[in-house]
Every structure is written in C-alpha cells, then in structure tokens.
Amino acid sequence: MSTKIKRCSLLAASIIMIMAVAMVSSGSVLAEYDVKSIIINPNPPYQTSIWTDRSQYDPGDRLNVYFRTSKDAYVYIFDIDTVGNVSLIFPNIYSGSNYKRAGQTHSLPDNARYNLTIGGPAGVEQLVMIATPSQIRDVDWLRRSLEQGSFGPQLNVNITADRFMFEVKSVTITPVFGQDWSSAVTSFTVGRVSTPLPPPPPPVSRGTLNITSKPSGATVFLDGVEKGTTPLTITGVAYGVHDIAIMKKHYYTYSRQITVNSPNPYHIDATLARLPASSDWDDEVQLVNKSILVKWPQTGPFTETFTFRGSTGSVVINGDPILGMLSRVTGNITADAVGPVEFMQIKPSGPDSPWPGRVYEKIQYPFRVRVAVEDYSITTGAVFGIEYIDHVRLRLEIWHIGR
C-alpha cells in the first residue's frame, strides 16, 4: 500500500486496494482473493461488516470506508493493495481512538486531518477488518505502523499477503483472544480492469476400445459404468487413464488400468480364470454394499468386518487429515488373518487422483472387494497453494467368491 498523508487542506492519503462488493459481512464468501478463508473466525461471538462508498475507483478518487460491529470492540483495518502489499490503515498516526461502539456505522477518514485517495496500479484491492474485545499490544507490525511517523507503512516486507494475514491470526489474534474476535472483508477495483476472454477449450480427443474375453459373454465395466458384454467395441472414449473391469459368474474378475492416447483402436483380450469349485460354494455372494463419505472431521478409520462360511475378513478405509482437509485416502483388506493388504490410494492429484466412477478392486481369497468413487472435490490451500481432498464419497462392495 502506498499511502501518503499531507496535513490541513493538502491532506491526501494514497492507498492502493482491491475489487469490491457493496458490503461483505463476516459470514460471506470472497471470490477474488481468498484472504477471508485465512482470517475468518468460524464461530464469531459477534458480527462485523465493512464496505466502501463505491465498487470501482480511478487513481486520484477519494475513498470512504464504513464499518459496523455488533459489540463494543477495538477495530483494526488492513489494506491489501493490487500487488499484495499489506498496510494497517486504522488506527493510524492521525486517527482517533480505534475503540468503537456497537450498533453504529463508523467511517474513515474519521477526522479532518487526513483523506484517503486512491493510488495505483490498476487491479483489485481489499480491506480486512478485525475486531477484538481489548487492545492488541506489543506486536511488531502494530509498533511499526504507529511509531514510524508515516501513514500506513508496508507491513509484509518479506512475505506474501496471505502468509502475513495467516500469521496475524495464528500468532497474534487466536493465542490472545481465542474465539472472542470477529472479522470482515470487502474489496473493490482500481482503474478499468479488463478481463480477457478465456481461450476456447481444446477439442476432446477420443479413442476406441475393442474388448474380447475367454470365455465370451463377460460383463464389461468402464470407469465403474456397465457398457455391455464381450465381444464389445466402445467408441468415443476420452483420452486419459481409465479403469476396465471384466466380470463373469464363476470366474475371477479381470481388472486393469489403461491409457487411451491415440485414435487407433485399443485392444483388450482378457483370459478369465475360473474360481475353484467346491459344491455350490463357487457362487459369488455379496456381503456388503454401502456408501461411505470421507470428509473432515469424519475421516475414519471406517472398518467393515464380515464372516461367511467359516472365513472372516475386514476392510478398512481411512483418510489422512491435515488442517481440516485430507492429504490422501487409503483402503486395506484382511482375509483369514492374511493382511492387511493395501488395494486403494487416493490423492488429490497425479496418477492416484480420483474421478467419478474410478474403481479399485482386490481379491484376497476368499473375498473380493470393490470400491468405486461416487463423488469428490479437491481444494487448494490458500497459504501454500497445495491441493487437498475436501471430501470423497465411496461405494464399498464386498463378495465371498468361494473356496
């Protein structure tokens, strides 16, 4: 933030900020710049809101800021400019007390000693408001802002804006006030920011699968979706990685992962192995068919134990949580004290990333387990830009396949 102040009639504060919503309270979502997900108090004991008199400004325009709190509180307002610099603009060396009464609309500038004037460059700028029941004391960024003798000096000299706001919350706010604080965010545009049209998506390339089996008449599943029986030709298969499963009663399931990357037909010739026969026990009997949602805070382990005709097994599905998200989800099977054997690993990206219908299957004699992805979402952490799994819903099926 490049904030400049002159006294008396020449007072002019130049602050460089972000894109606007008319009014954003502590319960809303900010799409342009995800500072709110960093600085938000998920259970605020009182409500705060902050807004500006306009949604778009040109360099040289005067800015007026308004804010409210539902409880008497000390208010701190940060500016995040269009290039990511963070400055404390309230309180400042010219402002009055930052202790504000509840139920009133307060404004900045709060006296005639200074003005707030928009600078540049063009872009999106943001204001972050924090309200606390008592003053923040003995903090380096606050001392620098109020003791350097200049209006709104830059606070985050060596780190990014999102990292600075994360440290304000985790180092200054939460250890002192616990949950007894509230926050709000608003933003606006500086200059005429034009958004170029996104390029058209590239055409989706597709291939063909020719699938046969010995014996024929087996049911074919592509990414968990039944497509027909062998011999079978499947056209219009999008380029990429796909799961193939070929099933026939009294035979082990044939499953593999293929990569379609050519318009030339992809041939799969599956030789199915017959299940061991013992009386009529070679019929597959389904023991479990259920949906499991893995999402913070219910991350597992989810354990399914089953017994049939003297054999006992278990399947365990477990999510690895980190900061309210999931770094991976795994599946293991144990059968008649053999195991556990891992048959599934889901990660947010790379070859282990999920897609709807992706299938993970394992035979651990005399049981067969099949897990299909029904639904999922991936999120990117605001601080470090790392992808995490927000949730994944799985369909778990387990069969006894004979002795």
Q: What is the pLDDT of residue 75?
A: 95
Conformational region of residue 370, where left means phi above 0, alpha means psi within -120 to 50, and beta covers everything else: beta
Q: What is the pLDDT of residue 352?
A: 87
pTM exceeds 0.85, yes or no: no
Tell me the CA distances in angstroms from 332 to 53, 329, 391, one per residue in order.
58, 10, 19
Burial class (CB in 10 A: 0-12, 13-18, 19+), 28: middle
2: pLDDT strictly greater than 70? no
Q: Per mean pLDDT, which range of 5-19, 27-41, 264-278 is the poorest?
A: 5-19
Same-domain status, 304 and 247: no
Same-domain status, 258 and 367: no
- H/E segment holding residue 261: none
CA-based nearest residue to 98, from 115, 110, 86: 110
Residues of the domain holding 212? 206-271
d(CA 187, CA 179): 25
Q: What is the pLDDT of residue 15?
A: 44
Report the number of distinct structural domains present in the chain.
Answer: 3
Give the torsion through C-alpha atoms of 40, 42, 48, 53, to 10 deg.
Answer: 50
Number of residues that make up the chain: 403
**Beta-bridge partner residues of 229:** 219
**Per the domain annotation, does 196 fall within a domain?**
no
Q: What is the pLDDT of residue 6?
A: 30
Show the beta-strand stretches assigned E in 232-366.
Answer: 232-238, 240-247, 254-260, 266-271, 285-295, 302-308, 311-322, 325-335, 338-346, 359-364
Same-domain status, 225 and 361: no
CA-based nearest residue to 362, from 336, 392, 322, 397: 397
d(CA 81, CA 16): 5
Q: Average pLDDT of 273-277?
A: 72
Place of tokens 């293991």: 332
37: pLDDT strictly greater than 80? no
Same-domain status, 87 and 143: yes
Same-domain status, 298 and 185: no
CATH of residue 261's domain is: 2.60.40.1120
Q: What is the pLDDT of residues 137-176, one digit of tens each?
A: 877 777 777 665 556 667 776 677 888 888 888 888 888 8
d(CA 230, CA 270): 10
Asked if 347 and 328 count as a contact pair (C-beta separation under 8 A), the reply is yes
**Per the domain annotation, does 278 fall within a domain?**
no
Same-domain status, 98 and 235: no
**Beta-bridge partner residues of 363:** 368
**Per the domain annotation, does 57 fall within a domain?**
yes
Same-domain status, 143 and 223: no
